[in-house]
Amino acid sequence: MALSIDSDLCNGCGKCIEICPYGGVELKEGKAVLNDRCTACGVCIDTCKVEAISSDIEEKEIPDFSDFKGIWVFAEQRDGVSSRATFELLGLGQSLAQKLNQELSAVLLGYEVDHVIEELKAFGAQNIYLAQHKLLTHYQTNPYAKVISEIIAEHKPNIFLIGATTIGRDLAPRVAMRLSLGLTADCTELTVDPEDGSLLQTRPAFGGNVMATIKTLYSRPQMATVRPGVMEAKMADGPAQCRITKKDVSLLDKDRLIKILEVVREKKKGVSLADAKVIVAGGRGVGSEEGMESLFSLAEALGGEVAGTRMVVEEGWLPVESQVGQTGQTVRPELYIACGISGAIQHRAGMLGSRYVIAINRDERAPIFEVADWGIVGDLHEVVPTFTKAMMDRRAKQGT
Ligand SMILES: Cc1cc2nc3c(=O)[nH]c(=O)nc-3n(C[C@H](O)[C@H](O)[C@H](O)COP(=O)(O)OP(=O)(O)OC[C@H]3O[C@@H](n4cnc5c(N)ncnc54)[C@H](O)[C@@H]3O)c2cc1C
């Protein structure tokens, strides 16, 4: 694809220059011209009010997908224990299914996993595609991708959602590739376009500096992986009515590329931020590893966990699993106390689901205050110990 600008039509307004993320357009003698940084992404075309920019690609006709129906969620489980991401996706799936008036299904693969069915029902699955086979006992890319691709080809869903977990990030592109589908990875928001009912898939782009919303125009199902912790797990409202659609699995030894000899679980070290009700998070403003001590004391007083920004992890003040944000964990505590954190978009991406946010920062213009329910402008080295003491005194009074 190549772009061209008709200089007779161009009025030199500069809108295309502002929107181009690559610096691929510039103004010469009052007219916009493309330079060698243009990637022909086409983002400028719609901003040109005088229609001076065109591409040599003819608009492809969008196929009729009316026979693709239903919202599907991959029911990830390990050793018969469902992942949290599964319930979060079912929570999201319930609202998408309601908006589109389509059925919500879970796709469950494994071996002797019948007990998982009840949980999937409770979280709103109206149908479960169930595939059981010894070779599906532990997750393996090839057998899982093969079986899921077959179920999709047979039943034609409209939307297929997978958690952006370690397994999901491996599985989703394999399925998309096998079926020549589009895939939007690591979404943080999914809604339905009220105009045409298609799925609007939002994810950070350009190094997290902008949020891009993507539509899958030319293939079905619309496939997306969703960051764990972003959506809310929600039990179904009414009594669970659920069909089971069994899939006959024919897997042969040659369908697996690896043979699992033994499963050795790594001992989980560090904190469990995913389940924490209170998180005390530190940023560069904490100043040092020793400075983190006061955050640990506050977390202890509140029965919470300590987390941090990428800066804090890079400084070595906290381990990497404590990082909250776009490239760290996504958390949803009841209370998030941000201490000495500026509130960069990449950090906010990981904590916006918190119920309440308290920000402590000595700069009253720090962006973290935009997302805080309560803001304290001050030195955290004074505020945090005062806060901790007040909590400890209160606990002592209550005898807890
Ligand atoms: C692709 C990409 C991915 C990223 N992913 C992540 C991510 O997952 N998580 C993440 O956190 N960041 C991430 N970042 C980095 C992010 O852009 C910011 O640089 C980072 O979040 C800033 O960390 P900070 O708030 O600790 O530090 P700063 O931005 O330096 O802010 C420090 C704040 O502390 C305040 N302060 C200083 N001293 C005190 C004091 N004594 N008392 C009170 N306040 C004080 C200052 O006013 C300031 O607001 C990513 C960046 C990129 C490009």
Q: What is d(CA 367, CA 387) in angstroms, rounded to the nearest whole number? A: 22
Expressed in angstroms and rounded, the spacing between residue 207 Cα and the centre of ligand 1 is: 15
Q: How many CA atoms lie within 13 A of 260 on its CB side?
A: 13
109-113, 214-218, 270-274: least confidently modelled range: 270-274
Is there a contact between 27 and 50 (Cβ–Cβ < 8 Å)? Answer: no
Task: With a cut of 70, say whether residue 334 has pLDDT above it.
Answer: yes
Q: What is d(CA 49, CA 68) in angstroms, rounded to the nearest whole number? A: 36
pLDDT of residue 195: 93
Expressed in angstroms and rounded, the spacing between residue 263 Cα and the centre of ligand 1 is: 38
Helices (H), the chain: 15-19, 84-100, 116-122, 141-155, 166-178, 292-302, 310-315, 345-351, 380-398
Measured N-to-C along each axis, helices 292-302 and 380-398 cross at an angle, to the nearest 10 degrees, of 30
Mean pLDDT of 255-263: 88
Q: For residue 165, how far is the Cα from the chain centroid? A: 9
Q: What is the rounded radius of gyration, in angstroms, for the C-alpha atoms of the chain?
A: 25
Q: What is the pLDDT of residues 154-211, one digit of tens each?
A: 999 999 999 999 999 999 999 999 999 999 999 999 999 999 999 999 998 876 677 8
Expressed in angstroms and rounded, the spacing between residue 273 Cα and the centre of ligand 1 is: 19
pLDDT of residue 239: 66
Q: What is d(CA 324, CA 164) in angstroms, rounded to the nearest whole number? A: 16
**334, 351, 294: which is closest to 317 by C-alpha?**
294
Atom of ligand 1 nearest to the CA of 204: 1
Residue 195 DSSP symbol: T
Task: With a cut of 70, say whether residue 252 has pLDDT above it.
Answer: yes
**233, 240, 262, 260: which is closest to 82 by C-alpha?**
233
User: SS3 letters for 125-144?
Assistant: CCEEEEEECHHHCCCCHHHH
Q: For residue 250, how far is the Cα from the chain centroid? A: 33
Atom of ligand 1 nearest to the CA of 324: 9
Q: What is the pLDDT of residues 29-58, one digit of tens each?
A: 999 999 999 988 888 999 999 999 998 877
Tokens of 151: 């179920």
Contacts of 316-324 spanning 24+ positions with Cβ under 8 A = 316/289, 317/282, 317/286, 317/288, 317/289, 317/291, 317/292, 318/282, 318/292, 319/269, 319/270, 321/269, 321/270, 321/271, 321/273, 322/270, 322/271, 322/273, 324/273, 324/279, 324/281, 324/350, 324/351
Question: What type of residue is 172?
Answer: A
pLDDT of residue 400: 66
Pocket of ligand 1 (CB under 6 A): 207-208, 283-285, 309-312, 323, 325-328, 340-342, 344, 346-347, 350, 360-363, 366, 379-381
The protein residue whose alpha carbon is closest to atom 18 in ligand 1 is 344
Expressed in angstroms and rounded, the spacing between residue 284 Cα and the centre of ligand 1 is: 6
- Tell me the whole-structure pTM to 2 decimals: 0.72
pLDDT of residue 268: 61
Cα–Cα distance list, 86 to 121, 174, 225 (Å): 12, 19, 11
Expressed in angstroms and rounded, the spacing between residue 95 Cα and the centre of ligand 1 is: 34
Q: What is the pLDDT of residues 107-116, one digit of tens each?
A: 999 999 999 9
Mutate to test the pocket of ligand 1, among 209, 294, 341, 371 (most ligand atoms within 8 A of CB): 341
Residue 192 β-bridge partners: 199
Task: With a cut of 80, say whether residue 349 has pLDDT above it.
Answer: yes
